[in-house]
């Protein structure tokens, strides 16, 4: 509801993305509403790490490897090459082969 009242509040969106990511991870599958919420976050914050991860995960779970690769490549490229985060995102991308 808060996103409806303050859709441009970047701090609120980032916190919301963290909450949705946690919920999606606990569920084991990305619920449709969580996916829709993360897509909304990415419209305002296209480099949101949680948004890129969760939408990539949902795409992979749905069998859309192209979209998953796209989202996870964007995620990987947010980090310096050689960093642990870069390596973790690279593992996600390579898991799609």
The contacts of residue 13 (CB under 8 Å, 6+ apart) are 3, 7, 41, 44, 45, 48
Residues 79-90 pLDDT 10s: 999 999 999 999
Pick the closest to residue 38 from 13, 63, 60, 61 (CA basis): 13
Q: Compute CA distances 85 → 47, 50, 68, 75, 77, whole Å.
A: 14, 12, 17, 9, 10
Number of structural domains in the chain: 1
Residues 16-60 pLDDT 10s: 666 766 766 676 788 888 788 888 889 888 998 988 998 999 999
CATH for 48: 1.25.40.10
pLDDT at 9 over 60: yes
Please report, in angstroms and rounded to a whole number, the separation of the first and last CA atoms in the chain.
39
Q: pTM score, two decimals?
A: 0.80
Q: Which domain does 25 fall in, by range? A: 2-94
């Amino acid at each position: 509801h808060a996103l409806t009242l303050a859709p441009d509040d970047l701090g609120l969106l980032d916190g919301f993305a963290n909450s949705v990511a946690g919920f999606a991870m606990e569920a084991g599958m990305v619920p449709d509403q969580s996916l829709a919420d993360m897509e909304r976050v990415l419209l305002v914050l296209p480099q949101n790490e949680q948004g890129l991860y969760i939408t990539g995960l949902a795409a992979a779970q749905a069998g859309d490897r192209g979209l998953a690769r796209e989202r996870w490549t964007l995620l990987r490229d947010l980090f310096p090459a050689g960093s642990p985060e870069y390596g973790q995102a690279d593992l996600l991308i390579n898991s799609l082969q």
